[in-house]
Amino acid sequence: QVQLVQSGAEVRKPGASVKVSCKASGYPFSGYYIYWVRQAPGQGLEWMGRVNANTGDTDYAQTFEGRVTVTWDTSISTASIEVTRLNSDDTAMYFCARMRIWNGHYLDFWGQGTLVTVSS
């Protein structure tokens, strides 16, 4: 069955970086994007970026361009997101989710979420 399993909770100080991973299984990876979506406490969903698991191509929301890097490692079928120059506003739950590349317009499977806390 389809699974997206994310790495565990992280705590960082302001100015540091964090990398969250998302291991995929149970489906043909090359046909899908992995999206990253975050949710600050009590807030809504915010798209951050995506990686094409077939080509490795990436796209980013303008808000995060230059501060976020999304990657796909084919050898371990794992997507990762790295966020640099963290501040308290980056405290959030970070989710990965998949979307079909061809004619795909929805996120049909999600990871369980990874809580990132930024605190001095």
Partner 1 sequence: DIQMTQSPSSLSASVGDSVTISCRASQNIGTFLSWYQQKPGKAPQLLMYSGSSLQRGVPSRFSGSGAGTDFTLTISSLQPEDFATYYCQESFSTTGITFGPGTIVD
Rule CB under 8 A: which residues touch partner 1?
A: 35, 37, 44-47, 50, 59-62, 95, 97, 99, 105-108, 110-113
Distances (CA, A) of 66 to 28, 55, 72, 101, 106: 30, 20, 18, 24, 26
- Cβ neighbours, 10 Å, residue 12: 17
* Shortest Å distance, C-beta 49 to partner 1: 8
Cβ closest to partner 1, residue 16 vs residue 115: 115
* Shortest Å distance, C-beta 75 to partner 1: 26
Query: What's the token pair of residue 5?
Result: 């399993």
Cβ closest to partner 1, residue 13 vs residue 105: 105
* Shortest Å distance, C-beta 14 to partner 1: 26
DSSP designation for 75 = G
